[in-house]
């Protein structure tokens, strides 16, 4: 059974804090690692899709890194804002062609 | 360009009833999938399709049926609803399965009583 683990499960930070989350995934048969942002009452929206070991992607204050050899990815948010409050999902794409999602990290940013 | 459209948004069923959740995409994506989201469980894959005429089972397929007669549509059928199927269902599509981003529908909240 392929497992994707995310930590922490939830996180409460103050506005302006920088934070990071971890996604652990199988290092074998790796094709891609996805990050999604999921706001309450909305649908998940893609942040990044990374395919190469050492990949680093950035979108505004959010960035992500990828280590496929050891099977982990970090998502960083610099200077958190209340509008960053959401659940952040990672998903592993392996040789079967599917995405296996972690349970997510729920971020709450207090003004 | 509507993206991924799911209907209905809400549904209440009685145990034993059947129904179909509709999913349509207008992005000409080959890959489509259905997930269910339960508290503390994350998104779990029910069924998926890599193209018209091709479907396969995901992690939790029991009690559900799918077909893919066109590229655009991927309906999910509940054959005989059970309370354990109370969940939020999401349909998603992507251009090239696991290596391109998935686009999600707005979700269907299903309650089986």
Q: Locate tokens 């998926």: which residue?
A: B48
How much of chain B exceeds pLDDT 70, in percent? 99
* CB within 8 Å: B102 and A42: no
Distance in Å, alpha carbon of B16 to nearest chain A alpha carbon: 28
Q: Using one digit for the tens of pLDDT, what is the confidence trace for B59-68? A: 999 999 999 9
Q: Give the dihedral of Cα atoms A91, B57, B106, B7; nearest 10 deg.
A: 180
Mutate: best of A4, A39, A41, A101, partner B, most B CBs <10 A: A101
Strand runs (DSSP E) across chain A, as ranges? 5-7, 10-14, 19-24, 30-38, 45-50, 56-59, 62-67, 72-77, 86-94, 99-101, 105-110
A100 touches chain B (CB under 8 A): yes
Q: Which of B98, B102, B105 sits opposite A97 (nearest CB)?
A: B98
Q: Give the single-character DSSP code of B73.
A: B
Phi, psi of A78, deg, nearest 5: -95, 130
Mutate: best of B98, B99, B107, partner A, most A CBs <10 A: B98
Q: Using one digit for the tens of pLDDT, what is the confidence trace for A39-87? A: 988 999 999 999 999 999 999 999 999 999 999 999 999 999 999 999 9
Q: Using one digit for the tens of pLDDT, what is the confidence trace for A100-109? A: 999 999 999 9
Q: Give the confidence band of B96 by pLDDT, cuts at 50, 70, 90.
A: confident
Q: Which of B35, B99, B106 sits opposite A32 (nearest CB)?
A: B99
Give me the DSSP letters along A63-78. EEEEETTTTEEEEEES
A40 touches chain B (CB under 8 A): no
> What value does the mean pLDDT take over residues B83-105?
94
Q: Give the confidence band of A1 by pLDDT, cuts at 50, 70, 90.
A: low
Beta bridge partners of B7: B22
Beta bridge partners of B103: B93
CA dist., res. A86 & res. A93, Å (int): 22
pLDDT at B1: 64
Q: Using one digit for the tens of pLDDT, what is the confidence trace for A85-96? A: 999 999 999 887
């Amino acid at each position: 059974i392929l497992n994707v683990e995310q930590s922490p499960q939830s996180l409460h930070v103050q506005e302006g804090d920088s934070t990071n989350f971890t996604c652990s995934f199988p290092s074998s048969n790796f094709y891609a690692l996805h990050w999604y942002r999921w706001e309450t009452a909305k649908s998940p929206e893609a942040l990044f899709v990374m395919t190469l070991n050492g990949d680093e992607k950035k979108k505004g204050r959010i960035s992500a890194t990828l280590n496929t050899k050891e099977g982990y990815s970090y998502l960083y948010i610099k200077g958190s804002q209340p509008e960053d409050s959401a659940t952040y999902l990672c998903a592993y794409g392996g040789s079967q062609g599917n995405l296996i999602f972690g349970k997510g990290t729920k971020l709450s940013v207090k003004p | 360009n509507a993206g991924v459209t799911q209907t209905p948004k809400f549904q209440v069923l009685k145990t034993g009833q059947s129904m179909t959740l509709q999913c349509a995409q207008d992005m000409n994506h080959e890959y489509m999938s259905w997930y269910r989201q339960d508290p503390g469980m994350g998104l779990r894959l029910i069924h998926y399709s890599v193209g018209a005429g091709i479907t396969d089972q995901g992690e939790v397929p029991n009690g559900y049926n799918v077909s893919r007669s066109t590229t655009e549509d991927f309906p999910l059928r509940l054959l005989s609803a059970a309370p354990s199927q109370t969940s939020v269902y999401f349909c998603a599509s992507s251009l090239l399965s696991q290596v391109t981003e998935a686009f999600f529908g707005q979700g269907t909240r299903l309650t089986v009583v």
